[in-house]
Amino acid sequence: MTVRSKIFLVVAFALAVTGCAGGKTHDLLNTTAVTVPASDIAATHEIFVATTRKRATKDPRQVFDGDRSPTTSFASVEVTVPKVHQVGAIERVRSSANSNPAKDFTATEVEFYEGAPQFAKAVGADIAMRGDRALVFVHGFNNGFDDGIYRLTQIAHDTKYPGTPVLFSWASSGKTTGYIYDKESANAARDDLEETLRMLAKTKAKSIDIIAHSMGTWVTMEALRQLAITGDRDLSDKLGYVILASPDIDVDVFKKQMIRYGKPDKPFAILLSGDDRALRLSSLISGDKPRVGDYGDAADLASYGVSVIDLTKTKGGDRLNHAKFADNPFLVQLLGDRLRAPAGLASEEANPAQPIDNLGQGIGKAVGSVAEIVITTPFRVLTIATGG
């Protein structure tokens, strides 16, 4: 197969699995305010943002676009969640029309910070007010700024996370055909994420939890690797949960990253699924090399000190099966049950020799209607079959 033929096949496959041939916008703000009764709103969440995107000039409704900035910018966004919201869903309009707060997730206000000191002061005050915890979410490939904002809002809301949500938004193009551009943007954002984590560690936060998705797991692992090289891999013991969902990382590269990072002391979990269609595309682009997120040898991954949670037999919220951790209602609630217990306590509850096993145990205790989950740790394999 020629290079041109392979590129055409990749593009065609990308459009097929996403069902997207254009037309999706990444508008975050409404052109005019839409007012609804307070009784139609379930909650309002303030999302703090560190981003390597440029401010949007062609379409200010996007706030930040897909172009790369040489420096990190900081902001916060207020988002309302409608009373009709269903766990695991992100209710939103998919065009340039205004969102209706009674029906849709709606960004109502954006505040920009002049620089890191102003942002650190604001986010630090919020952390101190909410319970001394921060949840950093790092989005994946083909995400606009709006996608990251809404996904973190949904995660924070559905898990009832008791701390401050912080979005690290790297400069994804938000286009299905932008995989190579996104990969380079992810590479360029490693230092920025490292500095953002260091900034959060200087606040009064007692626990900094990380959820990374898809290509965002690459940015996260590189930042953690860099922290390890400097001798501060656990952020002065403030690093909490690390959850890598559907990791779009070459398996061999991940192993080298983990060797440099070392075996984790806090709960560190990989959520993978053998039916992840988005990662099939990534594998195809990458020369048919397996990705961590659909790797078939969980025991091999677990030998590096992580818990591997196989969600292959659970249902996803769309046909890509790429975001089960957040769009499967049962899984997102079980994830919330675990996240609400600080990682330090989770480690103490578990066998001291097996602290990283705890996240898997938490998900496995009350699976209910999720069919089957297989949890592999460095110490054992646990299958929870529910017949659902």
Domain range for 284: 206-388
**Cβ neighbours for 243, distance < 8 A, ≥ 6 positions apart:** 209, 210, 211, 212, 269, 271, 325, 335, 359
Statement to judge: residues 245 and 342 lie in one domain: yes
If pLDDT is split at 50, 70 and 90, which confidence band does 169 have? very high
Number of independent structural domains in the chain: 2
Residue at 351 is within a domain: yes
Distance CA 192, CA 179 (A): 20
Statement to judge: residues 191 and 267 lie in one domain: no
Statement to judge: residues 230 and 371 lie in one domain: yes
Statement to judge: residues 191 and 221 lie in one domain: no
Distance CA 152, CA 99 (A): 18
- The DSSP output letter for 102 is T
Statement to judge: residues 110 and 243 lie in one domain: no
Half-sphere exposure of 62 (CA within 13 A, CB side): 21
Q: What average pLDDT does the segment 331-337 reach?
A: 89
Give the model's pLDDT for residue 369.
45
233-268 pLDDT, tens digit per residue, is 999 999 999 999 999 999 999 999 999 999 999 999
Distance CA 287, CA 248 (A): 14
**Cβ neighbours for 117, distance < 8 A, ≥ 6 positions apart:** none
Residue at 2 is within a domain: no
Residue at 162 is within a domain: no
Statement to judge: residues 189 and 243 lie in one domain: no
Cβ–Cβ < 8 Å for 235, 265: no
Residue at 256 is within a domain: yes
Distance CA 146, CA 65 (A): 9
Distance CA 52, CA 171 (A): 6
Statement to judge: residues 310 and 380 lie in one domain: yes
Give the model's pLDDT for residue 289.
84
90-135 pLDDT, tens digit per residue, is 999 988 899 999 999 999 999 999 999 999 999 999 999 998 999 9
Statement to judge: residues 210 and 192 lie in one domain: no
Cβ–Cβ < 8 Å for 137, 165: yes
Distance CA 4, CA 21 (A): 20
Residue at 295 is within a domain: yes
Statement to judge: residues 320 and 291 lie in one domain: yes
User: Residue 325: pLDDT above 80?
Assistant: yes
Report the SS3 class of residue 93: coil
Residue at 11 is within a domain: no
Residue at 233 is within a domain: yes
Give the model's pLDDT for residue 348.
40
Distance CA 137, CA 114 (A): 22
